[in-house]
A and B are shown apart, each in its own frame.
Chain A
């Protein structure tokens, strides 16, 4: 029930935002995340944006995971 889906914000009008979710446009409330900006990837839960996804942090996690994949393949 605590499912939250990443979606890109492409329009902001006051506390309302429009996001694209798997090709479908949805209106979301930005009341809990007023700092959201067009272009941000947001975590959407029950019609509300809860947080911005941080691309630099995501890249860092992926870099660590890629190292693990590399090490695994070298051992195999």
Chain B
């Protein structure tokens, strides 16, 4: 068992697609709220196996895409401070802020470095004791515990030149904001597998109970995704919305309590601004005041320039599932992966990048 190839069997995929066809008697909108799902659905051609009754919508599941211009501007303003090394994940580099991206700031001489793991930022901090290392922490519940673990490690190492600019966000409040707005009809949520590895299944229950929207926590191989869709279609037909776990090999109902304990030791829940969704109460993570010495907002005082939005870009509408990329006047013309205007085209997990690269309906 290697947990990958086994979940790519063609006969099972065709069998599952047939079940979905039989089960989907009326049109349904299913939303995935995970950029990794968005990419996997495109890459494996899942849409081509689905009947016209089943429409897949991409939600605000790409952490890069939902980061606001203001937050990117703040990171750039930090990178411009003398003596600062700004460290982040590669996905963030090319995202345009109001005036420039981190890549462009780097080209202009700012010290911006890309790492695979936040732990690598600790290594940079240890190797550069005279510099201030700021980690630009982006990501959902999957990533945030790894940043929290790093802060604990920095504390135990006695590192005084390491801080985190947290723009971490939480998925269930964004799902609630989408269904509560009623702008787009969502008949079922394909819940993010790796967020759920940490938070488990309970935090989605209020979505099923209060809003009557079925939820299925789904894995990332093609058979996982098809089975997740089949379970959603069956739940919708059965009329009893609840939270089910398709990705049972990785997700326990209780999640990973140890990871959550570390997360909650360092971070507390706070309101957050989302691109496309605006301000959502209790949807972000900020460092607790006990850890203010690791909070870049407390350590560094900066005043980023006023933010502005990209003219014509409809990434906000796309992140809510309200529009599809071809409805954007910039898509494929002014805005391409080589020369992106909006974040949904920059990020490899962005909806526009997926449509552009794989072509789609």
Task: Please pick, from B220, B223, B259, the residue contacting A50 in the complex, using a CB distance under 8 A.
Answer: B259
At the interface, yes or no: B29 with Cβ under 8 Å from chain A? no
In Å, the complex CA distance between A13 and B121 comes to: 22
Contact check: which of B64, B118, B193, B198 meets A46 at CB < 8 Å? Answer: B118
Given A2-B142, A32-B146, A46-B117, residue A60 in contact with residue B62 (CB < 8 A): no
Residues of A within 8 A of B250 (CB): 4, 43, 51, 53-54
Q: A1-B349, A65-B223 are in contact. Are A45 and B89 (CB under 8 A)?
A: no
Query: Interface of chain B, helix or strand or loop or mixed?
Result: helix
Which stretch, B12-20, B77-85, B274-282, B301-309, touches the partner chain A?
B12-20
Does A25 belong to the interface (CB within 8 Å)? no
Cβ of A33 and Cβ of B256 under 8 Å apart? yes
Q: Is B103 an interface residue (CB 8 A)?
A: no
Once the chains are docked, how many angstroms separate the CA of A71 from the CA of B22?
A: 13
- Taking a contact as CB atoms under 8 Å apart, the answer to whether A4 and B256 are in contact is no
Given A2-B36, A32-B256, A48-B117, A58 contacting B145 (CB threshold 8 A): no
* Residues B244-280 near A (CB distance < 8 A): 246, 248-252, 256, 258-259, 262
CA gap between A58 and B117 in the complex, in Å: 28
- Confirm or deny: A38 has a beta carbon within 8 angstroms of a beta carbon on chain B: no
Contacts of B342 in A (CB 8 A): none
Cβ-based interface call for B324 (8 A):
no
- Among residues of A, the one whose C-beta sits closest to the C-beta of B13 is A69
Please determine whether B140 and A2 come into contact, CB atoms closer than 8 angstroms.
Answer: yes
Verify A31–B249 contact, CB threshold 8 A.
Answer: no
Q: Decide if B314 is an interface residue (CB 8 Å cutoff).
A: no
Judge whether B36 and A46 touch: CB under 8 Å.
no
- Among the interface residues B118, B252, B259, B262, which one has the most CB atoms of the partner chain A within 10 A? B259
Q: Is the interface of A mostly helix, strand, loop or mixed?
A: mixed
B248, A57: Cβ atoms under 8 Å? yes
Q: Which one of A33, A47, A62, A71 contacts B116 once the chains associate, using CB atoms below 8 Å? A: A47
Query: Is A45 a contact partner of B248 (Cβ separation < 8 A)?
Result: no
- Of the listed residues A2, A65, A69, A71, the one surrounded by the most CB atoms of chain B closer than 10 A to its CB is A2
Question: What distance in Å separates the Cβ of B67 from its nearest Cβ neighbour in chain A?
Answer: 11
Q: Which residue of B lies closest to A68 (CB)?
A: B15
Q: Which residues of chain B are within 8 angstroms of A50 by Cβ–Cβ distance?
A: 142, 145, 194, 197-198, 256, 259
The answer on a CB contact under 8 Å between A73 and B15 is yes
Assess whether A1 is in contact with B35, with CB atoms less than 8 Å apart: yes
Is the C-beta of B4 less than 8 angstroms from some C-beta in chain A? yes
Complex Cα spacing A30 to B16, Å: 36
Contact for A53 among B3, B36, B62, CB less than 8 A: B3
Q: Please tell me if the beta carbons of A45 and B146 are within 8 angstroms of each other in the complex.
A: yes
Known contacts A2-B195, A29-B119, A32-B146; is A65 also within 8 Å of B1 by CB?
A: no
Cα of A59 to Cα of B248 in the assembled complex, Å:
10
**Using Cβ atoms and an 8 Å threshold, which residues of chain A touch B143?**
1-2, 45-46
With an 8 A cutoff between CB atoms, is A3 at the interface?
yes
Q: How far is the CA of A55 from the CA of B6 in the complex (A)?
A: 12
Is B209 an interface residue, CB under 8 A from the partner?
no
| Contact, CB under 8 Å: A45 / B19 | no
A29 to B220, CA, bound (A): 23
Neighbouring B residues of A2 by C-beta, 8 Å:
34-36, 63, 139-140, 142-143, 192-195
CA distance A41 to B1 in the complex (A): 9
Contact between A54 and B248, CB atoms less than 8 A apart: yes
Residues of B within 8 A of A68 (CB): 12, 15-16, 19
Instruction: Given contacts A46-B146, A54-B248, list 6 more A-B pairs with CB under 8 A.
Output: A1-B62, A4-B142, A31-B152, A55-B249, A61-B246, A72-B18
Q: Supply 26 A–B pairs (Cβ within 8 Å), ascending by A.
A: A1-B64, A1-B89, A1-B138, A1-B349, A2-B193, A2-B194, A2-B195, A4-B142, A4-B194, A32-B146, A43-B250, A45-B143, A45-B146, A46-B89, A46-B146, A47-B146, A51-B197, A51-B256, A58-B6, A59-B1, A62-B7, A65-B16, A65-B223, A65-B227, A69-B14, A73-B11
3 smallest beta-carbon distances between A and B, as pairs? A47-B117, A72-B15, A69-B12
